């Protein structure tokens, strides 16, 4: 496969981060979002992120400028034409399927449609999409420019050659690709779910407060405590993934979402991106 242009649907933290990765890797990148304010914020964030890399000596000014020049910011779905499209939109099956149906209608039958879903089965997303064999999971982790791991998930209809090609593609971008089966939460989110869920249970039961739990986990060797990490990922995003996995495992109690986290989401305390989550940020 000759992949020259990569489209990314969703200009939030994850989508913008993936755009930075693909642009720095030399690909023509189209970053799409229906929200023009979100696109402007993403563009400003990318400029700031690349400038910081230059300041730290990790990137030449010319390289940063070239990367930015490779990215176009569009709010019209009909402009999202590419060899590979990665969706990084809201974690809802109906919304993802609608988007892929629209994109399949305007793109080539050979265009790879990839989902960055954290938990929704790729098979469910691909069902009813024309040429479902080209639907695959390419799951980056936040923050995408820093985190090395990328899960490649094959649905029931996914062409194995496409999955292998996607693994090679992300490895050419400097990432570590791993193949995963189409199971709830895949590998990382299934294993990591209890890092959050059990920490929230400890908080609910008043065994310890947020600062203590984070400090203990960091002292045990984790780079970030669970509450700091949820704030970084997005409390709403983390809650959505937990809720999805809980349903996919038929309400298995060990995946039960937390009432405390639900309250944070309801209050709009979504973490760093809103200035307040389990912690308060400037």
Query: Catalytic positions, please?
Result: 118, 139, 151, 189
Q: What distances in angstroms separate CA 2 from CA 24, 82, 153, 154, 169, one per listed residue?
A: 18, 11, 20, 20, 10
DSSP code of residue 185:
T
3-state helix, strand, coil in the chain (%, to 5): 50, 15, 35
Q: What distances in angstroms separate CA 106 from CA 101, 171, 193, one per listed residue?
A: 9, 28, 37
Token output for 44: 């400003």
- Give me the residues paired with residue 28 across strands: 5
Pick from 245, 257, 147: nearest CA to 190: 245
The whole-angstrom separation of Cα 152 and Cα 88 is 15
The whole-angstrom separation of Cα 193 and Cα 199 is 10
Token output for 197: 């869920």
Identify whether the C-beta of residue 239 lies closer than 8 Å to the C-beta of residue 246.
no
Pick from 151, 208, 156: nearest CA to 176: 151
């Amino acid at each position: 496969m000759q992949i020259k242009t990569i489209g990314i649907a969703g200009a939030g933290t994850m989508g913008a981060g993936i755009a930075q990765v693909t642009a720095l890797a030399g690909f023509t990148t189209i970053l799409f979002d229906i929200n023009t304010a979100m696109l402007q914020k993403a563009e400003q964030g990318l400029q700031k992120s690349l400038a910081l890399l230059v300041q730290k000596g990790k990137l030449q000014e010319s390289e940063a400028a070239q990367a930015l020049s490779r990215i176009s910011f569009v709010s019209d779905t009909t402009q999202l034409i590419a060899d590979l499209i990665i969706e990084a939109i809201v974690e809802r099956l109906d919304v993802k399927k609608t988007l892929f149906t629209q994109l399949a209608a305007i793109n080539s039958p050979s265009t790879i449609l990839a989902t960055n879903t954290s938990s929704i089965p790729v098979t469910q997303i691909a069902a009813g999409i024309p040429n479902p064999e080209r639907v695959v999971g390419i799951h980056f982790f936040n923050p995408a420019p820093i985190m090395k791991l990328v899960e490649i998930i094959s649905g029931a209809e996914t062409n194995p050659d496409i999955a292998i090609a996607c693994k090679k593609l992300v490895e050419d971008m400097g990432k570590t690709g791993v193949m995963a089966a189409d199971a709830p939460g895949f590998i990382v989110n299934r294993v990591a779910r209890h890092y959050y869920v059990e920490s929230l249970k400890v908080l609910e039961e008043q065994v310890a407060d947020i600062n203590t739990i984070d400090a203990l986990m960091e002292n045990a060797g984790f780079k970030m405590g669970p509450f700091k990490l949820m704030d970084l990922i997005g409390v709403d995003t983390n809650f959505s993934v937990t809720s999805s996995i809980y349903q996919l495992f038929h309400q298995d109690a060990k995946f039960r979402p937390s009432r405390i986290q639900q309250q944070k989401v309801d209050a709009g305390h979504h973490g760093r991106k809103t200035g307040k989550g389990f912690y308060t940020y400037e």
